[in-house]
Amino acid sequence: MSEITIGIDIGSGAVKTVLFRGEQWLAKRVERIRRRDPLELARQGFDEVLEEAKLKEKDVSYTATTGEGENVKFATGHFYSMTTHARGGVYLNPEARAVVDIGALNGRAIYIDERGKVLSYKMTSQCASGSGQFLENIARYLGVAVEEIGTLSKTSKNPEKVSSICAVLAETDVINMVSRAIATPDILKGIHISMASRLVKLLKVTGITKGTVLLTGGLALDAGLLAALQEELVNEKISGLTAVSHPDSIHAGAIGAALWGAFRHRKLAELQSRAAA
Amino acid sequence: MSTKENRVTEIISRCSALFEDLEFGAVKKWKAAAPGRKAIGYMPVYVPHEIVHAAGMLPVGIFGGGDQLEVIQGDAYYQSYICRIPRSTVELGLTGRLDCLDGMLFPSTCDVIRNLSGMWQIMFKNKYVRYVDVPQDYDDAVGGQFYIHEMQQIREDLGKLAGRPVTDEALRASIVVYNAHRKAIRDLYAYRAAKPWQAPTAEVYLLLRAGCVLPPEEHTRLVHDYLAACETQQRPKRDNARVVVTGPFCEQPPLGLIKSIEMSGCYIVDDEFMLAFRWLMDEVEETGDPMQALSKAFLHRSAQSSSKYDARKEDKGRFLLHQVKSRGAEGVVFAAPSFCDPALLERPMLQEILARHKIPYTAFKYAENTGQMAPIREQAGTFADSIKLWSAA
């Protein structure tokens, strides 16, 4: 029987939890943090996926955390989020040779091989202008629900240019656009283009030239961002790359953690039996 | 009254308070407990503490100002390409925080520390200041004689300062005290290597730093107490990578950096923090000529660090390899202070040796006041992952 592993990804905006039996995905949870204690949400997610899979805590062979989950007391081990997004990305899309993880606070491009091994990577700097939190702030200012952002952006006819350097400058740009009566879809599209332009730059630095780029993290399902990323790849004449998303992209980190947890469980057992022999 | 369960917390809280006290209250308290008591500061890496102790004085480790001291005056004394420890030490001195010390010993760590001894003589004319040279020849008849001469000078100087000569008997008694202290530190390191989840390095480090301001007898007891207390509570064991941290033998990293390495998935199973306490690697001969005994221990049974001369090329990296193998480490983290010539010049040589032995490593720099830990976490985290997921073992 394959081992039961749980992956917990504590992000800046949400806690994602998944449960696996070997490579078989049995349960998942996403809980927005909304000023609550992420460590408590991690425990809650852990209990809920066990309940959904009708399993007990003692059945779990390895609980792996990622993201900001270093302080989860009941974890067996912790993996860095780049490592887990890479593995989760290959699980969700075996063709993926790069993962663009864009969460609430930052974004990163990761060049990977078919095993999910990180070959190189590049992250955004401290500035939040390429992040989900920034987009959420703008949506609030525009009076748009987060879920509507992608759809509205895709209807844009004449996107407005937004600063891609700094979140503060970008917010000032948006305030000016509103006062100039620029249509909301054009503002949102402008922001998406600005974010996509940064992400494409990150991808270029990793050295990847061809293959599938899977969008993961909290913004992976933003259809407007995906469309903008695809357009930017064309504009930058990077014809070898195809940007895609996956309905479970938000779980990529947690999936990677659970799968690497299973790998470690087997490796530790092997080391132990080798030592005993 | 403390329970067994919170004894670890109690010990570490005390150590933390001693570590954070840049006014050296513990030293002042020790001096005030009996009239005429004197305290002698020493800088990293190593000085023969036994001589200070035998003179009836308290050896006080001065390991810079850490990340809580704002350096204002100290910066005026150094160019921008010099490490931070001399700046913060000058700041400690000029702001009167080291007034409780009656003298300072500056070991032969690097040019910067050596030159600081000269600056100290100019700045603090009423204090005893001594540069402690060490041999670069490990023959008893050559380097040994030189080192005994150096130690003899300190012995006579401290005897004058104390108002009574430092006798052989007193030195032998101090060697006994420090042998017990070294044994306790060796036990602490062995315990942590065996059960790193039970004795996190952030705690071990604070415990070591307490030894800078406490008498060795008291510090030995504290280390024993900590080890006993650790066994009374079971802490969760994590699937972490076992690493040796090398490089921080002089300027110390901020505590946050040590915590960051541990948080990112590494168990530190050996290191170069506070090497002064482990410089002599086993017991010093307790009978016979004490100066000969101290000299022989230095020449033949002392640790290796970038600041110590290696007489033979083939000895380079021997100590680091021993640390890795004896502690069952899976990788090495090179953490060197920015602008530390000894550590940074030796690093490529050590890395080449590790590569030859197929031991993975990563490297970064820090200053004692480094505040931004995200890049450290990222680097240590990816390093731990690469060991756990991709190493051949």
Residues in chain B within 8 Å Cβ distance of A263 = 389
Residues in chain A within 8 Å Cβ distance of B393 = 271
Minimal Cα–Cα distance from A80 to chain B, Å? Answer: 5
pLDDT band at B393, cuts 50/70/90?
A: low
A82 in contact with chain B, both atoms CB, cutoff 8 A: yes
> What is the rounded average pLDDT of the residues B276-298?
96
| Domains, chain B | 24-166 (3.40.50.11890)
Q: Which of A70, A76, A260 sits opposite B264 (nearest CB)?
A: A70
Compute the distance between CA of residue A177 and CA of residue A186 in angstroms, rounded to an integer. Answer: 9
Residues in chain A within 8 Å Cβ distance of B330 = none
Residues in chain A within 8 Å Cβ distance of B385 = 79-80, 83, 260
A99, A116 contact by CB (below 8 A): no
> What is the rounded average pLDDT of the residues B87-92?
97
What is the number of helices (H) and of strands (E) in chain B?
14, 8
Beta strands in chain B (DSSP E): 39-42, 58-61, 103-107, 128-132, 241-246, 266-271, 331-337, 361-366
Contact map slice: A 108-147 vs B, CB within 8 A: 117-118, 123
A77 in contact with chain B, both atoms CB, cutoff 8 A: yes
pLDDT tens per residue across span B128-167: 999 999 999 999 999 999 999 999 999 999 999 999 999 9
Q: For position A276, what pLDDT does the model report?
A: 83
Residues in chain A within 8 Å Cβ distance of B264 = 70, 78, 80
Residue B181 Ramachandran class (φ > 0 left, ψ -120 to 50 alpha, else beta): alpha
**Encoding tokens for residue A247?**
């309905």
A241 in contact with chain B, both atoms CB, cutoff 8 A: no
> What is the rounded average pLDDT of the residues B96-121?
96
Report CA torsion sign: A54, A56, A57, A61.
Answer: negative
Minimal Cα–Cα distance from A164 to chain B, Å? Answer: 23
B392 in contact with chain A, both atoms CB, cutoff 8 A: no
pLDDT tens per residue across span A207-242: 999 999 999 988 888 999 999 999 999 999 998 999
B89, B65 contact by CB (below 8 A): yes
| Number of C-beta neighbours around residue B173 at 10 A | 16
Q: For position A129, what pLDDT does the model report?
A: 53
Minimal Cα–Cα distance from A253 to chain B, Å? Answer: 14
Residue contacts between A and B (CB atoms, under 8 Å):
50
> What is the rounded average pLDDT of the residues B293-312?
94
Q: For position A125, what pLDDT does the model report?
A: 64
Say yes or no for a CB contact (<8 Å) between A80 and B384: yes
| Domains, chain A | 4-83+251-276 (3.30.420.40), 94-245 (3.30.420.40)
- Return the C-alpha torsion angle B306, B310, B313, B315, nearest 10: -90
A175 in contact with chain B, both atoms CB, cutoff 8 A: no
If you ran DSSP here, which 8-state letter would residue B313 be given? G
B372 in contact with chain A, both atoms CB, cutoff 8 A: no
Pick among B263, B388, B390, B391 to test the A interface (most A CBs inside 10 A) = B388
For A76, the closest chain B residue by CA position comes to B238
For A82, the closest chain B residue by CA position comes to B382
B119 in contact with chain A, both atoms CB, cutoff 8 A: no
Residue of A116, A62, A112, A119 lying closest to A91 (CA atoms): A116
> Which string of b and e fits B314-331 if b means at least 16 CB within 10 Å?
eebbebbbebbeebebbb
Q: B381: helix, coil or strand? A: helix
Interface pTM, i.e. ipTM = 0.84
Is residue A170 pLDDT above 80, yes or no? no
Q: Which of B239, B385, B393 sits opposite A80 (nearest CB)?
A: B385
Q: For position A160, what pLDDT does the model report?
A: 87
**One-letter amino acid identity for B182?**
R
pLDDT band at A99, cuts 50/70/90?
A: very high
Q: For position B5, what pLDDT does the model report?
A: 62
**Encoding tokens for residue B47?**
């000085």
Q: For position A203, what pLDDT does the model report?
A: 93
B238 in contact with chain A, both atoms CB, cutoff 8 A: yes
Q: Which of A70, A83, A268 sits opposite B382 (nearest CB)?
A: A83
Q: Radius of gyration (Cα) for chain A, nearest Å?
A: 20
Is residue B13 pLDDT above 70, yes or no? yes
| Number of C-beta neighbours around residue A37 at 10 A | 11
Report CA torsion sign: B303, B304, B310, B315.
Answer: positive
Sorted by sequence, the CB contacts under 8 Å of residue B386 that are 6+ apart come out as B360
Q: For position A130, what pLDDT does the model report?
A: 58
Say yes or no for a CB contact (<8 Å) between B238 and A73: no
Residues in chain A within 8 Å Cβ distance of B239 = 62, 76-77, 264, 268
| Number of C-beta neighbours around residue B355 at 10 A | 11
State pTM to two decimals.
Answer: 0.89
For A268, the closest chain B residue by CA position comes to B239
Q: For position B374, what pLDDT does the model report?
A: 84
Residues in chain B within 8 Å Cβ distance of A123 = 378
Q: For position A175, what pLDDT does the model report?
A: 85
